[in-house]
Amino acid sequence: MTNSVYMPVKCVWGRNCVKENGGDLALGKHCLIVTGKNGAKASGALDDAISVLEKHGIGYAVFDGIGENPLISACHKAGVAAREADADFIIGIGGGSVLDASKAIAIYASNADLEPVDIYKREYKNAPLPIALIGTTAGTGSEVTAVAVLTNDETGVKKSIKGNDCYAKVSFCDPKYTESMSYRTTVSTALDAFAHATEGFFTERCEGIHKVFAQNCIPALYRGLKSLSQSETVDSALRDSLYYASVYAGLVINNCGTGFPHPLGYVLTENYGVPHGMACAAFFAPYIDRCAEFAPEKLAQFTAMTADMNEVKSVIASLTDLEGVSIGEEKAKKYALRWQSVIPGNFTASPGGLTQEEAAQILALII
């Protein structure tokens, strides 16, 4: 099969990169800063961004109403706020939810007549506002992807939008902002990045430079997860390694996509509140088992980058908190109805593919 790479985001790397490269943040005269309630402030990223904006004489307003698994209604509200602030660009500061939301907000901001749910149709007149992203967690890789996962308020279902107009103009990648994360959040985001790298690696598209991205991050992410399974102490060296690896994992999924653990994981997040990274990790073992059956050569390469699969499964399971979650056969069949009409590309991209019935069988294992 043929392949291609398109990576238009300017990435600025390193500690203190926001202040040292402030000119790259100046994308206009007025901006809306998008954050959650605490992360941007606690990490110091918000203060750094504001100091740069003030230095360059750029006006700003702050919208801090984005929560986990961002709602399209919150994104639409922020789009209105951007217009009221005369914003001509968006700055997203936070974890994956905020970064994803910023991509949707940029669309709503420039399209006043776009109804919240219509963003999924990907049809609108005006180009989104330019976006700058500053990550504060080491998980999603949203800094470099053209994807935003949004939650429909009415259905509670997570669904993604994707397109070249969702890329940021510039992303600042400073691992020091991840130091404010709790141990649990550090674990969950690292599991998310590992899921991205792993699932993307086993797709047919992961060859050439895509494979280089995967080979760069999979060993680092596994070493980090093994360290987290042994101690809750997270030093700056581990923070750096996990963050940079998460960005490379973002490059993997941006070009290769993910496998079935992601859509199955949405079920755990939507119905049981399981953090996204842990929700994906819950299906690591059955995913690897199918890889062993349908992609043995790649599994051998994956094993060489990590460890014996029994050890890897044990490490992932030890970090995946599913307390209070029990699905069973009947609920699993009900949840799997969402895939009755359309089989997700994540299913077909997985080694051996996956049917709706097989998805239900795997969900039923969560008891």
pLDDT by residue for the chain (367 residues), tens only, comes to 677 778 899 999 999 999 999 999 999 999 999 999 999 999 999 999 999 999 999 999 999 999 999 999 999 999 999 999 999 999 999 999 999 999 999 999 999 999 999 999 999 999 999 999 999 999 999 999 999 999 999 999 999 999 999 999 999 999 999 999 999 999 999 999 999 999 999 999 999 999 999 999 999 999 999 999 999 999 999 999 999 999 999 999 999 999 999 999 999 999 999 999 999 999 999 999 999 999 999 999 999 999 999 999 999 999 999 999 999 999 999 999 999 999 999 999 999 999 999 999 999 999 7
Burial (Cβ within 10 Å: 0-12, 13-18, ≥19) of residue 43: buried
pLDDT attached to residue 5: 79
Give the containing element (helix H, strand E) for 60: strand 59-63
pLDDT attached to residue 2: 72
Backbone angles phi, psi at 159, to 5 degrees: -150, 145
Q: How far apart are the first and last CA of the chain?
A: 40
pLDDT attached to residue 142: 97
pLDDT attached to residue 7: 86
pLDDT attached to residue 3: 77
pTM for this one?
A: 0.96
In terms of phi and psi (left: phi > 0; alpha: psi -120 to 50; beta: otherwise), the region of 363 is: alpha
Which residue, 66, 56, 55, is CA-closest to 33? 66
Burial (Cβ within 10 Å: 0-12, 13-18, ≥19) of residue 105: buried
Within 13 Å and on the Cβ side, how many CA atoms surround 35? 23
Residue 272's SS3 state is helix
Q: Are the C-beta atoms of residues 45 and 92 closer than 8 Å to each other? A: no
In terms of phi and psi (left: phi > 0; alpha: psi -120 to 50; beta: otherwise), the region of 150 is: beta
Within 8 A by CB and 6+ apart from 261, the residues are 195, 199, 280, 281, 282, 283, 284, 287
DSSP 140-180: --GGG-SEEEEE-TTT--EEEEE-GGGS-SEEEE-GGGGGG
Alpha carbons 286 and 291: distance in angstroms, whole number: 9
Locate 308 and state its tokens.
């014996």
Helix intervals (H) in the chain: 17-20, 39-43, 45-55, 72-84, 96-110, 183-201, 209-230, 236-256, 261-272, 276-281, 284-294, 296-305, 309-319, 328-335, 345-349, 356-363
Within 13 Å and on the Cβ side, how many CA atoms surround 118? 10
pLDDT attached to residue 10: 97
Alpha carbons 302 and 214: distance in angstroms, whole number: 10
Within 8 A by CB and 6+ apart from 213, the residues are 248, 249, 251, 252, 255
Within 13 Å and on the Cβ side, how many CA atoms surround 143? 29
Q: What angle do CA 213, 137, 351 make, to 5 degrees?
A: 40
Q: What angle do CA 258, 119, 273 make, to 5 degrees?
A: 55
